[in-house]
């Protein structure tokens, strides 16, 4: 399994369909940056671990420092399709991987 780390614990992204603002995390996995919805973290195989239900590749998706949203580290500037974010529609642009083989310590994802 490739090394995976949490890059940003509080990321704001928007849903294209209705402009809803959502929170997630950005991880680096296999030298790519991936968005994980906060609600997509599942219990891991060991106590104190979590795993993402799905990851959404942000390598070709613009994001940057938060200027107007003080409660987050970065903001994904282009909205994402709700069906892709919720795993209802397969996608290659952006690439979505369902049930990736990633396990992280819960504190690394949600700790301060």
CA distance 23 to 27: 13
Q: Is the pLDDT of residue 52 over 60?
A: yes
Is residue 68 over pLDDT 90?
no
> Are the C-beta atoms of residues 102 and 89 closer than 8 Å to each other?
no
Contact between 36 and 96 under an 8 Å Cβ cutoff? The reply is no
What is the C-alpha separation between 13 and 72, in angstroms, rounded?
10
pLDDT in tens, 1-31: 458 999 988 999 999 999 999 999 999 999 9
pLDDT for 66 equals: 79
The predicted model gives 38-45 an average pLDDT of 96
Cα distance between residue 27 and residue 4, in whole Å:
7
pTM of the model: 0.90
């Amino acid at each position: 399994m490739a090394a995976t780390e949490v890059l940003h614990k509080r990321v704001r992204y928007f849903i294209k369909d209705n402009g809803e603002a959502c929170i997630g995390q950005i991880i680096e996995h296999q030298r790519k940056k991936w968005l994980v919805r906060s609600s997509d973290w599942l219990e891991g195989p060991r106590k104190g671990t979590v795993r993402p239900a799905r990851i959404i590749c942000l390598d070709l998706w613009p994001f940057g420092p938060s200027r107007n949203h003080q409660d987050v580290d970065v903001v994904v500037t282009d909205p994402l399709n709700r069906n892709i974010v919720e795993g209802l529609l397969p996608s290659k642009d952006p690439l979505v991987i369902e049930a990736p083989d990633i396990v992280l310590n819960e504190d690394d994802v949600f700790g301060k």
